[in-house]
Amino acid sequence: MLNKLRDPELGKRILAKLVPLAQEVAGHLGRPAIFMEVCGTHTMAIARSGLRSLLAGSLELRSGPGCPVCVTSQGDIDRVIALAAARHDLVIGTFGDMMRVPGTNSSLEQERARGARVEIFYSPAEAVTFAAGHPQDEVVFLGVGFETTAPAVALSVAAASSRGLENYAVLSFHKTVPLVLENLLSDPELKIDGLLLPGHVCTVTGRRAFDFVATKYNVPAVVAGFEPVDLMKAVYLLLKQVAGGRAETVNGYPRLVREEGNNKAKEIMREYFEPVNVQWRGFGEVPQSGLALRDSFSFYDAAVRFPVDVAESPPPRGCACGDVLKGKIVSSDCPLFARKCTPLQPVGPCMVSTEGACAAYYQYEWPKAEV
Partner 1 sequence: MCLGIPGKVVEVNRSESWAVVESFGVRKKVDIALIDEDLVPGDYLMVHAGYAIGKIDLEDAQISLELWEEILHAE
Helix, strand, or coil (residue 147): coil
* d(C-alpha 27, C-alpha 33), whole Å: 9
Write the interaction track for partner 1 spanning residues 182-211; mark x where CB under 8 A is met and - where it is not: ----------------xxxx-xx-------
Quote the least distance from Cβ 89 to partner 1, whole Å.
26
* Closest to 198 measured CA to CA, from 153, 240, 252, 268: 252
Q: Which of 32, 102, 103, 145 binds partner 1 (CB under 8 A)?
A: 145
Q: Is 14 or 336 the residue whose CB approaches partner 1 more closely?
A: 14
* Closest to 242 measured CA to CA, from 281, 282, 267, 214: 214
Pair 261, 202: CB distance under 8 Å? yes
Query: Ramachandran region of residue 66, left (φ > 0), alpha (ψ -120 to 50) or beta?
Result: alpha
Pair 100, 75: CB distance under 8 Å? no
Q: Is 85 or 261 the residue whose CB approaches partner 1 more closely?
A: 261
Task: Write out the binding residues for partner 1, residues 64-103 only, by CB under 8 A.
Answer: 66-69, 95, 97
Q: Is 41 or 161 the residue whose CB approaches partner 1 more closely?
A: 41
Q: Which of 57, 255, 260, 285 binds partner 1 (CB under 8 A)?
A: 255
Q: Which residues contact 282 (CB under 8 A, 6 or more apart)?
A: 65, 71, 321, 322, 323, 324, 325, 326
Binding segment for partner 1 among 25-33, 105-113, 124-132, 344-352 (CB under 8 A)? 124-132
Q: Does 49 bind partner 1 (CB under 8 A)?
A: no
Q: Does 289 bind partner 1 (CB under 8 A)?
A: no
Q: Which of 79, 175, 207, 233 binds partner 1 (CB under 8 A)?
A: 233
Pair 230, 255: CB distance under 8 Å? no
Helix, strand, or coil (residue 308): coil
Q: Is 126 or 365 the residue whose CB approaches partner 1 more closely?
A: 126
Q: Which of 19, 34, 125, 192 binds partner 1 (CB under 8 A)?
A: 125
According to DSSP, the residues that pair with 250 across neighbouring strands are 222
* d(C-alpha 96, C-alpha 152), whole Å: 16
Pair 280, 187: CB distance under 8 Å? no
Q: Does 39 bind partner 1 (CB under 8 A)?
A: yes
Helix, strand, or coil (residue 66): coil
Q: Is 65 or 336 the residue whose CB approaches partner 1 more closely?
A: 65
* d(C-alpha 194, C-alpha 206), whole Å: 19
Q: Is 85 or 223 the residue whose CB approaches partner 1 more closely?
A: 223
Q: Does 349 bind partner 1 (CB under 8 A)?
A: no
By CB under 8 A, the count of residues binding partner 1 is 51
Pair 279, 285: CB distance under 8 Å? yes
Q: Is 94 or 183 the residue whose CB approaches partner 1 more closely?
A: 94
Residue 338, number of CB atoms within 10 A of its CB: 17
Q: Does 144 bind partner 1 (CB under 8 A)?
A: yes
Q: Does 355 bind partner 1 (CB under 8 A)?
A: yes
Question: Which residues contact partner 1 by CB under 8 A?
Answer: 1-2, 4-5, 10, 13-14, 17, 39-41, 66-69, 95, 97, 122-126, 144-146, 148-149, 151-152, 155, 198-201, 203-204, 226, 229, 233, 236, 254-257, 262-265, 268, 354-355
